[in-house]
Amino acid sequence: MSEPDPTPESAPPVAPKSTRKPRRDYTPQLRATLRFVFWAALFGAAGYWAWHQPFMAKPRAIAALSAAPAPDSLPMPVDGVRASRVADTYGAPRGRDRQHEGVDIFAPRGTPVRSTTDGLVVGVREGGLGGKQVWVMGPGRQRHYYAHLDGFADLLEVGDLVRPGDALGVVGDTGNARGTPPHLHYGVYASDGAFDPLPLLRAHGADNGDAAR
C-alpha cells in the first residue's frame, strides 16, 4: 500500500499588481509657461522703454490730459483784461436758430491771446463763423475754442503741446465778427456740449485779486 504524498508546502502569496498611474511629466507645460513669462516680461520692458521716449510725448500728454480733472478756474486768455469787465453773454440769441456758446472778450486788435490750460492743439483753422480759430484739448478732454483771431502765433500747428500762458494768436474780428469791435470769442466744450466759461474766469480772477494777465 502506497504512502500518501507529503503535504506540499504552502505557496507564497502573489503580490497584487500595482494600480498606481505613472507620474505625469509636467516639463512641457513648465517650459511653455517659462517661455510665456519671458516674452511677456520682454514686451513689457520694451513697452515701458518706448512709452518714456521723446517720440511718445504726445500720447503721454493725451493720456495725462484725459486722466486729469477738469479745471475749477481759468486764467484770462486775453492780455490786459480783467474777468470782472467781461459781460456774461453766454446763451444770448445769435440769429434765428443759434445761441452764444461762449463769452466775448473785447480788447484792442493784436492783443495776445493765450492758452488757459495745459493742452494739445487739435485745430488751427480759418473759415466759418469763427474765422481764424484755435482748438485746444485740455484737462478732462474739454475743448477750448479761441475764435475771431486776427492771426496765429508763429509756428503754431496741430499737435503742439501748450502750457497755460502760451501764445495762440492775437485778437481780431475774423469770421462772422467782421466789422465788430475786435474781440476774442472764448468757449469751452465738455462731453455734453458747451458751458459758460465766465464763472471759471471770475473764480481765477477772485483768487488772484482780479489781476489782468
Per-residue pLDDT at 112 = 98
* pLDDT at residue number 10: 58
Question: Exposed, middle or buried: residue 157 (CB in 10 Å: 0-12, 13-18, 19+)?
Answer: exposed
Can you give the pLDDT at residue 127? 92
Q: Which residue has the cell 483771431?
A: 149
CB 70 within 8 A of CB 199: no
Whole-structure pTM value: 0.75
DSSP structure class, residue 84: G
Mean pLDDT of 167-187: 96
**For residues 98-125, average pLDDT:** 94
What distance lies between CA 15 and its chain's CA centroid?
75
Q: Is residue 26 scored above 70 in pLDDT? A: yes
| Average pLDDT across the chain, whole number | 86
Q: Which of 133, 103, 113, 119 is nearest to 196 (CA)?
A: 103
Task: Give the C-alpha distances (Å, rounded to integers) separating 185 from 46, 69, 103, 151, 152.
Answer: 45, 24, 6, 14, 15
Q: Is 170 helix (H, G, I), strand (E, B) or coil?
A: strand
State the pLDDT at residue 3: 57
Query: Rounded mean pLDDT of 183-191?
Result: 95
pLDDT in tens, 74-108: 999 999 999 999 999 888 877 777 888 899 999 99
How remote is the C-alpha of 35 from its chain's centroid?
Answer: 35
Confidence category of residue 38, pLDDT binned at 50, 70, 90: confident
DSSP state of 54: G
Lowest mean pLDDT among 11-15, 112-116, 143-147: 11-15
Biggest CA–CA distance in the chain, Å, is 151
Give the pLDDT mean for 24-50. 79
N-terminal to C-terminal alpha carbon distance within the chain: 140
User: pLDDT tens digits for 153-164?
Assistant: 999 999 999 999
Give the pLDDT of residue 196.
95
CA 155, 106, 195, 190: dihedral to nearest 10 degrees? Answer: 0
Is the pLDDT at 178 greater than 60? The verdict is: yes
Banded pLDDT at 56 (limits 50, 70, 90): confident
Whether residue 188 has pLDDT greater than 80: yes
Q: What is the pLDDT of residue 212?
A: 64
Measured torsion, CA atoms of residues 172, 178, 179, 185, in degrees rounded to the nearest 10: -50
Q: What is the per-residue pLDDT for 9?
A: 57
